[in-house]
Homo-oligomer: A and B are copies of this chain.
């Protein structure tokens, strides 16, 4: 298969230096001023080495984000028996994470790339979003088994309603990302918007 470099030959030290440099520069200069040339310079690497292994700036940023955020974060969601409490715990952790400027900038960069790149978006969903969603679904199914979640609720929709608002506020900056806010989201979602008959 000509033109495809042999991954066995790949220098792992160089690969890590590039990913680290990408995250570092994102933190320093921000996404709009992030350049391949700058990453190569910071990593002490030839530009060609970057172009050899990554198809686009997007895929590099994506991989850098994965490496930074911890790729195989496949830890299951907590299950203390109290669904609301567990969801709040997870969402508060997400809020705290987004409070870290480095994490914030890296994730913003990745989202910018995703917005206009179908393929990358697919990869993002497959490698990050889908696995996380599965974990969430698992927790919700457990809640259904113990009668804390209605049997007939569509889990995909439930997840979107619980976890979507945080991401939205963060992306669109429509309001402050606080623990209080996520608590309200969880409570409101569980309870529903309709009045309860007394």
Contacts and interface: CB of A to CB of B under 8 A. Distances in A.
B153 A188 contact: yes
Contact of A184 (B118, B154, B169): B154
B112 A116 contact: yes
**Number of chain A interface residues as a range:** 35 or more
Interface string A138-153: 0000000001111101
B111 A171 contact: yes
A121 B195 contact: no
Most chain B CB inside 10 Å of its own CB: which residue of A114, A175, A194, A195: A194
A12 interface: no
A149 B118 contact: no
A132 to B, nearest CB: 11
A131 interface: no
A139 to B, nearest CB: 12
A188 B124 contact: no
How many copies of this protein are present in the complex?
4
A190 B192 CA distance: 5
B165 A167 contact: no
Contacts of A116: 30-32, 108, 112
Interface in A148-198: 148-151, 153-154, 156-158, 160-162, 164-165, 167-169, 171-175, 181, 184-185, 188-196
A153 B184 CA distance: 9
A180 to B, nearest CB: 10
A20 to B, nearest CB: 21
A193 B196 CA distance: 13
Contact of A161 (B30, B150, B165): B165
8 contacts: A30-B116, A114-B172, A114-B173, A121-B173, A161-B185, A167-B168, A191-B192, A191-B194
